[in-house]
Amino acid sequence: MPDALTANLEAVRRTTARSAERAGRDPAAITLVAVTKTVAVAPIRDAIGLGLKTFGENRVQEAMPKIEAIGTGDASWHLIGHLQTNKVKFIEGRFAMVQSIDRLDLVEALDRRLGSPLDVLIEVNVAEEPQKTGALPADLPAIADAAHAARHLRLRGLMTIAPAVSDAELVRPVFQRLRTLRDENSQRLGAPLPVLSMGMTEDYPIAVEEGATMLRLGRALFGPR
């Protein structure tokens, strides 16, 4: 096994456990999604050898040959990047979760196309950054209602990408806001939305303190891209 990945994974687990402890949370309730965009098949196999099971890819086209090579038995694949409507046909049988539902027409296109239920998260552009993907908070209720009602979608929670800032502490309110939005929508729908996918390499210790149940880590595991 490559030493760097082993050491990185240990460091991530230690940091996650410390943050969870500070917040009185159980680190076992936090799923690590290893983000493998630009990462080749061999290091992904190494990661599987080290016990990682969930992998995040942000482009369908890049993910397909990797999923083909590695399969869906030892690895579970999450789409974490923007999904174009014309790529919806590639989701079933490959991805266990789409974390990046960001508009009504995507809910409709997926629901029409799928033959069996798919776990989804709605991506929210909490900070309302103009060039960012994700639903605006004002549009979230309508998308959540549609996803909750869709026959072939199982709405599991929310995802966000926090703004890039020099001091990770500045993103804490973004994570708090995502959690509040989750609570509000869960209550309105009368359905549990257990998943909060938030926290990347630069900010995951704070995301854990604020209730993240899924971390999406690329560089913290595989090094710089």
Ligand X SMILES: *Cc1c(COP(=O)(O)O)cnc(C)c1O
Contact set with ligand X (CB under 6 A) = 35, 37, 58, 80-81, 161, 200-202, 216-220
- Give least dist CB 176 to ligand X, A: 19
Residue 123 class from Cβ within 10 Å (0-12 exposed, 13-18 middle, 19+ buried)?
A: buried
Is the CB of 10 or the CB of 188 nearer to ligand X?
Answer: 10
Is the CB of 37 or the CB of 152 nearer to ligand X?
Answer: 37
- Give least dist CB 197 to ligand X, A: 8
Q: Nearest Cα to 80, choosing from 119, 50, 48, 108?
A: 119
- Give least dist CB 187 to ligand X, A: 27
Is the CB of 137 or the CB of 145 nearer to ligand X?
Answer: 137
- Give least dist CB 170 to ligand X, A: 16
Q: Kindly give, in sequence order, each residue whose CB lies less than 8 Å from that of residue 83, ignoring residues fewer than 6 positions away.
A: 60, 91, 98, 100, 101, 106
Q: Which amino acid is at 54?
A: T
- Give least dist CB 34 to ligand X, A: 9
Is the CB of 152 or the CB of 201 nearer to ligand X?
Answer: 201
Q: Nearest Cα to 39, choosing from 16, 54, 56?
A: 56
Is the CB of 137 or the CB of 152 nearer to ligand X?
Answer: 137
Q: Are 159 and 122 in contact (CB under 8 A)?
A: yes
Q: Are 202 and 168 in contact (CB under 8 A)?
A: yes
User: Which residue minimizes CB distance to ligand X?
Assistant: 218
Phi, psi of 31 (to 5 degrees): -90, 130
- Give least dist CB 70 to ligand X, A: 19
- The owner of tokens 């399969």 is 71
- Please give the angle made by the CA atoms of 26, 215 and 88, to the nearest 5 degrees: 130
Is the CB of 4 or the CB of 149 nearer to ligand X?
Answer: 4
